[in-house]
């Protein structure tokens, strides 16, 4: 989505789907619970529900995915049981209402099939992030887990 950044600014972001939002846990406990959660999830199909705009810096234009049955279960491992819809941010930035509207139009212009994307998630990654950071440079990859089919 480089054309979005070119028009509206914002830092370069590595595409990723946020499955569980910010959680305050110790490092060891977060790793243990992440592994426990991953062991109970198989690779799954992720399907875009809608393209939305929000007033949040990290989600001015995002893809929301249909809720997956495992999300609540996985969030429970991390003590994050509130409803959460996985999303993929296409842009970071503080956009005005008008800019968000134009950005949404631009997304559809660039790829009119984006609202019907569907793909398989085969691994999850746990990152330590810093909420005050405005880009991903400070993110620390803690671990990656390849999901396995259960028999």
The set of catalytic residues is 16, 87
CA-to-CA dists, residue 90 to 57, 76, 83, 151, angstroms = 11, 27, 21, 36
Measured distance CA(43)–CA(105) in Å, rounded: 32
Give just the sign of the alpha carbon dihedral 30, 140, 60, 120: negative
Tokens at 143, concatenated: 């671990």
**Distance of alpha carbon 79 from alpha carbon 137, whole angstroms:** 26
CB neighbour burial string for 10-27, b if at least 16 within 10 angstroms, e if fewer: beebeeebbbbeeeeeee
What CA–CA distance (Å, rounded) separates 96 from 94?
A: 7
């Amino acid at each position: 989505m480089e054309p979005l950044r070119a028009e509206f600014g914002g830092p370069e972001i590595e595409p990723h789907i946020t499955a569980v939002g910010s959680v305050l846990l110790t490092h060891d406990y977060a790793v243990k619970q992440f592994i426990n959660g991953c062991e109970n999830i198989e690779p799954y199909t992720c399907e875009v529900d809608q393209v939305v705009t929000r007033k949040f810096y990290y989600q001015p234009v995002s893809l929301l995915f249909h809720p997956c049955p495992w999300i609540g279960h996985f969030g429970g491992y991390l003590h994050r049981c509130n409803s959460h819809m996985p999303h993929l941010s296409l842009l970071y930035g503080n956009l005005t209402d008008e800019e968000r509207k134009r950005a949404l139009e631009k997304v559809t212009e660039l790829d009119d099939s984006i609202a019907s994307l569907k793909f398989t998630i085969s691994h999850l990654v746990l990152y330590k992030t810093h909420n005050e950071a405005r880009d991903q440079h400070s993110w620390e990859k803690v671990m990656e887990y390849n999901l396995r089919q259960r028999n």
